[in-house]
Amino acid sequence: MNGTFSTADGLRLAYYVDDFTDPWRKPDTVLLLHAAMGNSQRWFQWVPPLSRRYRVVRLDLRGHGNSQIPKPADDFSLSLLVSDALTLLDLVGADRAHVVGNSAGGYVSQQLAINHPNRVKSLALFGSTPGLKNSHAPTWIPKIKEIGLKQFLADTIDERFDSSADPDLVKWFIEQAGSNNPAFIARFVLHMCTHDFMNEVSTIKAPTLIVAAGKEKIGHASAYEEMNRRIASSELVYYDTAAHNICDGYASRCIEDLMRFLRKHP
């Protein structure tokens, strides 16, 4: 099933629901929130195995995929992204969900767990520190303006994929991510660069899985250990790579770790 809904401030956002569980079961809901420059299609490797055991709900974040792009004069904030996710959970009738966030989608997920703990059954974060403030991401914007988004991604692809990645996957990623609206992506990234909520993550009570690239180049890999220390019910898994896009390049391993985690926290 797929559809759209209106946000509190009037944007139309796209969402998708996949449920291939046994028809006599009432499965838990898993909410998937994608990274900046992504969309719901980026979960294509994840949906088949997950949707056999869970009702899988995917959201195209505002400004991404088939969701409407905010006008330059419209408000934009992390809190609005959180509100969008809550509206979708209400729409699909999920009082609580297992929330899975990749990179910037993980910022939304963390804020859900911090500010709306009654809606989060468990939390799984893939390549997602508490905000993007302590990163070199602001330097991306002038480069994107100079050479374009697709060329920027191609020139910096070693930050996102390592040499083991399928070349066709990398090519598809550059085409898909590079097709975003550059002005909105600049706005999105620069806003995320204002956030550092490390001091808030200790309030997260939901069981939390943190999966990280051990040689992270986007953000700081050391942040993951601090998150693990501060979130009482968390576990940390490192992948021995500098590639930030672990949800794409290491999808099978990510899914295995997520399924193992979800089995522990039904």
Q: What is the pLDDT of residues 232-264, one digit of tens each?
A: 999 999 999 999 999 999 999 999 999 999 999
| Residue bearing tokens 């299609």 | 41
CA-based end-to-end distance of the chain:
24
Class of domain 2-131+197-264: alpha beta
- Reduced to 3 states (helix: H, G, I; strand: E, B; else coil), residue 140 is helix
Polymer length of the chain? 266
Q: Reading across the β-sheet that carries 234-239, which strands appear in turn?
A: 2-6, 12-18, 55-59, 29-33, 97-102, 120-126, 208-213, 234-239
- For the chain, the average pLDDT equals 96
pLDDT of residue 70: 97
The stretch 206-219 carries a mean pLDDT of: 91
For residue 222, pLDDT over 90 is answered with: no
The stretch 213-218 carries a mean pLDDT of: 87
Q: What is the pLDDT of residues 71-87, one digit of tens each?
A: 999 999 999 999 999 99
Q: Where are the domains of the chain?
A: 2-131+197-264
For residue 219, pLDDT over 80 is answered with: no
- Bridge partner residues of 31 (DSSP): 57, 99
The stretch 95-102 carries a mean pLDDT of: 98
- Reduced to 3 states (helix: H, G, I; strand: E, B; else coil), residue 220 is coil
Is residue 52 within 8 A of residue 21, CB to CB? The reply is yes
Residue 218 — very low, low, confident or very high, per pLDDT cuts 50/70/90?
confident
Residue 221 — very low, low, confident or very high, per pLDDT cuts 50/70/90?
confident
- Reduced to 3 states (helix: H, G, I; strand: E, B; else coil), residue 240 is coil
* Contact residues for 44 (Cβ-Cβ < 8 A; gap 6+): none
pLDDT of residue 243: 94
Is residue 127 within 8 A of residue 102, CB to CB? The reply is yes
